[in-house]
Chains A and B, each alone.
Chain A
């Protein structure tokens, strides 16, 4: 409120921060989510509710070794999935629809598009299924990512590259 006093030409009055005003600046559920409302005039850290400080321990901000392992594993699999996507982009350029009918050709092209985005979609689905707080999250995520990497191997490009190397 000090800044207001410098720029305002009106006579400074006492701040009329009654309960309604304070409630208007807070979202419902702030407390349940462990978030504090906006810092208001004169409020200091010492005035934060003590139960909020108890709910959010300081060490929760830094990831533990298990969480760091999950992050590293996810990043490593992310690189593998990126390679799979690149492999499928090469693969679809090697493939030609073997038929002559238009519906089959349309669905073949659609299938090629799906194959190119398959790795990204599988990765997104695994992240959706293993959110923070899920039970045995790390094991489930790594297993699902491993299965996806095996299912989505870009065999057309892989076969071509192996054949070229021989």
Chain B
């Protein structure tokens, strides 16, 4: 029960159901931003092309919008392994907030 061996014991005691529920909830929220970015990636290039501005299609921001949500989510999941539930929630919330902030930035920069 010393302070040193407290973390692995507490992490191991987190029920699998709780770990899965937290991951699924945050996956769904990240998924919304991925869905929005994928919609833009699919719909915008034909729209630009139809207007005769195909060469101005913002490919970098469109692709970054699709790549960043899963990368940030996977990073938070990896860093949260073998940690207590509260630490996992903080990491996933930070990842979700960074996803939202970058999506707004990319919307402005695109």
Residues of A within 8 A of B (CB): 28-29, 32-33, 88, 91-92, 95, 104, 107, 110-112, 114-115, 117-118, 121-122, 124-125, 128-129, 148, 151-156, 159
Residues of B within 8 A of A (CB): 1-3, 32-33, 36, 79, 87, 90-91, 93-94, 96-105, 107-109
Decide: A125 and B91 in contact? CB cutoff 8 A. yes
A-B pair number, CB within 8 angstroms: 79
Given B87, B93, B102, which contacts A121 in the complex, CB threshold below 8 Å?
B93
Interface class of chain B by DSSP = helix
The minimal Cβ–Cβ distance linking A154 to chain B, given in whole angstroms, is 8
The minimal Cβ–Cβ distance linking B67 to chain A, given in whole angstroms, is 13
Decide: A124 and B90 in contact? CB cutoff 8 A. yes
Given A28, A29, A148, A156, which contacts B104 in the complex, CB threshold below 8 Å?
A156
With a cutoff of 8 Å between Cβ atoms, the chain A residues found around residue B91 in the complex are 125, 128-129
Q: List 10 A-B contacts (CB under 8 A).
A: A29-B2, A29-B3, A114-B97, A118-B94, A118-B98, A124-B90, A124-B94, A128-B90, A151-B98, A151-B101
With a cutoff of 8 Å between Cβ atoms, the chain A residues found around residue B104 in the complex are 91-92, 95, 111-112, 115, 155-156
Question: Known: A32-B1, A95-B108, A125-B91. Contact between A152 and B79, CB under 8 A?
Answer: no
Decide: A33 and B98 in contact? CB cutoff 8 A. no
With a cutoff of 8 Å between Cβ atoms, the chain B residues found around residue A118 in the complex are 94, 97-98, 100-101
Question: Known: A114-B96, A125-B94, A159-B108. Contact between A32 and B101, CB under 8 A?
Answer: no
